[in-house]
Amino acid sequence: MKQCTNCNKNKEESQFWKRGGSRGEELYPYCKMCKREQNYKLRRETKKKIIDLLGGQCQTCGHKSETGVSLSIDHQNGEKHKDACNILQWEWSRIEEEIKKCDCWLLCMNCHMELEYKRKHGL
C-alpha cells in the first residue's frame, strides 16, 4: 500500500505510475487518478493561454468560446512540427516559439474542418 500525496488515500501500488515507464522501480507520489486530473487541468489551462495569445476567437468567422472546446489551433502554412499534437504538454516558452515560428492561428471547429477539406482536395 502507498499513500497518494494529493488525495491522501492509501491505495495499492498498482494505482501509481512508475517513473521511467514499466521498467522503473520508483512510483510517482500521486495516484493514477490524481495524476490524470492534474494533467487534464494543466492541458486545459495551457489551451486557455494559447487561445488568449491568439486573440480568443476564430480568425475566420469571429466565433468565441467561453470554454475553448470549440476552438482549435492551426498552422496557417499547413506544416506542423512533428510533435505538434503534444503541444499542450510542452513548456510555455516552447509553445510560444512554435506559435510564432509556424504562424499559427485560431479557428472554430467548423472553419477548421472546411479549411482542412480544401487543403486536402486542393480547392
Distance CA 2, CA 105 (A): 45
Contacting residues for 76 by C-beta, under 8 A, at least 6 apart:
102, 103, 104, 105
Planar angle of CA 116, 61, 56, nearest 5 degrees: 95
Determine contact, residues 117/123, Cβ cutoff 8 Å: yes
Element (H, E) at 18: strand 16-18
Determine contact, residues 49/71, Cβ cutoff 8 Å: no
pTM (whole model) above 0.75: no
pLDDT of residue 9: 97
Domain boundary assignment for the chain:
1-46, 54-123
The phi and psi torsions of 52 (rounded to 5 degrees) equal -60, -40
- The one-letter amino acid code at 71 reads L
Beta-bridge partner residues of 74: 105
Note down pLDDT in tens along the chain; length 123 residues. Answer: 999 999 999 999 999 999 877 677 899 999 999 999 998 998 889 889 989 999 999 999 999 988 888 998 888 766 665 565 677 778 889 888 888 887 888 999 999 999 989 989 988
